[in-house]
Structure formats: structure tokens, C-alpha cells
Amino acid sequence: MTSLSNFAGGADALELNGKHIVLGLSGGIACYKAAELCRALIKAGATVQVVMTEAAEQFITPVTMQALSGRPVFTSQWDARQDNNMAHINLSREADAIVIAPCSADFMAKLLHGRADDLLSLMCLARPIDTVPLLLAPAMNREMYAHPATQRNLVQLQADGATVLGVGSGFQACGETGDGRMLEPDELLQDVIAFFTPKVLAGQRLLITAGPTFEAIDPVRGITNLSSGKMGFAMARAAREAGADVTLVAGPVSLPTPRGVARIDVKSASNMLEAVILIIKDATVFIATAAVADWRPDAPSDQKIKKDGSGQSPQLAFVENQDILATVAQSAAAKSGALFCVGFAAESHDLHENAQAKRLRKDVPLLVGNIGPDTFGQDHNALLLVDGQGSTEMPRASKLALARQLVKEIAQRIHKT
């Protein structure tokens, strides 16, 4: 049995460790979100240099951003603090990426036409295009965002090499509701992390199941388990970061959908199987993290079963649910090698023996085992990877860190086949 030692001690790597981000703020009420984004980038391991336009200073002070970034804020192209008085050159050369958040409609138009009448636009124009990527987080009123000029600008900026991170939809400061809100700081952080993640699953289409299932006894009661779905959702996020097109079929959980992931909510094992069968034909990788109920009540009542005071419990008969992983693994796509299947096994004891037996029984190339009671509902886990050559331990770490490592393992196995 081997161990993936880079997880020794359970310490999780900082996703942006060693990255230097220039965070640019143009004018807009969404500048208040830039403060939280700055903190989030630093907590993820990045260093942050803030550059603000004159308009941005009307919404948030340089003092605030300096306190959060731990660095002097630059606001003028005539800033004399640089020895050569060329902040637009020096700041761009030091950056691993320039992130403009918020990026106003006016600033996008300025970038499009190559105007450079302030430090931030001058720096964007002077950056080495091949080595310093430009990421834009638009923020504006819904009518401004929908305007044909703005939409043309977005298309052309992407054609010129900028990465547009999209917008949110909802209530706006002006009182209107619609598209154009700047994404929330956590969403932007996820997008920045994904941008820097090696795309080891580029071109792959992943179908992932997650969470428990709920098998109804009557309209108000049912059989389920303690799975929180966190591992499956972490797998979906990590796969999307690695460049995959991800669809997540989720049992009854209340977790937010990872950025860029398509989600289908289901309830019972039968519901989950139906959803999987409908879309599995388009997948190249199937990852079954869901803790699917093995049995369901044979004849659930259409009314609440009430106790009658006799002390007698209702007699329930059960039928076995169809095995989703085994069904998919026996499909023509899986047998031909066009579909790579990964199973998960939550055991209570004898993990290695039970996981290996389950892998053979379900006929999958890779099975990931864990001790269910030690991880259900928690943010951390320890995994055992079981394949035809033996087993590999993944020591306890956050579920997201484990998911990212598992994505690399899956990518290596896919590319060998």
C-alpha cells in the first residue's frame, strides 16, 4: 500500500501561493466588493497590488485598499514613488495577472480602443500580452450591460485575449433588477483559481453523482443516510477548474452549485438513475460519489402512516434499487473504453477488503473508499484509491484538496488508456 505524501499532515496548499495579482478598480458601486476580493486573494496565498482609477476613489478609499492589501495603492500615472517614474511598466511586469474588478462599461470601452489616459488603462495597454493575462469582472446597470455597444465590446475584448469572467443577475444599486452585477467575491476567487489551474481534463465531459438519496415511506418520512454531498461537490468544482465540462446530479442537499457546473437535482435512487441514463451517453468520465440507498420501501403509503396506540410498528417490505454504478460500468461505452468509471465506497470497517471487493463486483477500473462515519457531514476526509495494481492512501485533508488530487489521478489514468 502506497501513500500520496504531498498530503502528509493534512495541510492544504494555498491555491494562489506565489501568484502576484494586480487588482484594478474602475468606477462603480461594486468597488465595495473589491475589498472582500482583495482579502480573499490574499487568504488564498496571493500577493495583491491595488491600482485605482480616479472614479474608483469616489466609491472606496485608497486607504481601505492599502490596509487590506498591505501595499501602497497606486492611483496616478505620475506617481513619483517609482524610481523611473514608470509605474505602468513596473507594475505590469511584476504581475502574474491583472484582474479588473469592477470593470465599468466606460473602462471596457477604453480598453477596446487602446486609450491610456490614466494609470490603470495605461498599465493594461503596456502589459506583455503573452505573459500577463487580463481578467475582467464587468459591473454596471442592466441596460448598460445589455446595450449593443457593450456586448460588441465584450466580444472584441475576448477576441483580443482578455478573459471576461461574466456577470451576476439580481437587485442592483439603482433599484433595478437584471444582469450586470459584478460577481460575488467568492465567485471571482473561484474563477481566478480556475484560471491558473492546469487544464488536465480539457475536452473531457464529466458526469458526477453526489449526496444521499431519499426513499419515501410515506409523504413525510423516508430512508436516507448522513452523506452531505460535500465530496461530490468538491469533485465537481475541481474537475471544472481542470477544464472539464461538468454535470452534477445531486441528491437532496443544500449546497451551492460550484461555478460553471450544470446541476440536476433528484430525490430517490430511481430518480438519480433516470437522470444518469439520460445524459451518460455524452460523458467521457463517470464519477459516482453519491451514497445511493441500496433498498427502498416496496409500497410507500400515499398518506402519513399513523401510530394507533397498539405498540405495533408498521411492517415494511423492501426491494433492491438498481445499482447505478454497475449499470453504467456495464454499458457499451464503458466496455469499449470510451467511458472511464470511478466509484466511491463508504464503509464502516475493513476498508481495503470491502473496497477491493466492491471494485471487482462493479467492474470499474478505480474505486475510492473511505470510512463513512468518519467523514459524513465534515469538510475533511481520508481516501483509499483501489485499482487492479493495489491501493494508495490519500491522508486526511480538506475534501476540496483531495478532490483536486483525485482529478490529477483520474487525468493520468485517462491519458494512459
pLDDT of 309 = 79
Average pLDDT over residues 407-412: 95
Q: Which helix H or strand E contains 49, and what residues bound it? A: strand 47-52
**8 A C-beta contact, residue 25 and residue 65:** yes
- Cα(414)–Cα(339) distance, integer angstroms: 9
- The pLDDT tens digits for 199-210 are 999 999 999 999
Cell numbers describing residue 356? 477491493
Average pLDDT over residues 111-120: 94
Q: Is 187 helix (H, G, I), strand (E, B) or coil?
A: helix
- Cα(318)–Cα(42) distance, integer angstroms: 53
Q: Is 174 a catalytic residue?
A: yes
pLDDT of 165 = 95
> Helix, strand, coil % (nearest 5) of the chain?
35, 25, 40
pLDDT of 296 = 93
- Cα(25)–Cα(49) distance, integer angstroms: 11
Residue located via cell numbers 488536465: 200
Superfamily of domain 14-196: Flavin prenyltransferase-like (3.40.50.1950)
Q: What is the topology classification, in CATH, of domain 205-294+320-416? A: Rossmann fold (3.40.50)
- The pLDDT tens digits for 223-239 are 998 889 999 999 999 99
pLDDT of 5 = 47
Average pLDDT over residues 292-308: 89
- The pLDDT tens digits for 278-292 are 999 999 999 999 999
Q: Which helix H or strand E contains 24, and what residues bound it? A: strand 20-25
For CATH 3.40.50.1950, list the domain ranges present in the chain: 14-196
- Cα(11)–Cα(127) distance, integer angstroms: 35
pLDDT of 11 = 42
Residue located via cell numbers 450544470: 262
Least confident of 166-180, 318-332, 340-354: 340-354
For CATH 3.40.50.10300, list the domain ranges present in the chain: 205-294+320-416
pLDDT of 57 = 97
pLDDT of 143 = 95
Catalytic one among 31, 38, 103, 174? 174
- Per DSSP, what are the bridge partners of residue 168? 181
**8 A C-beta contact, residue 280 and residue 207:** yes
- The pLDDT tens digits for 1-15 are 555 544 333 345 689
Cell numbers describing residue 184? 460575488
Neighbours of 303 (CB within 10 A): 8
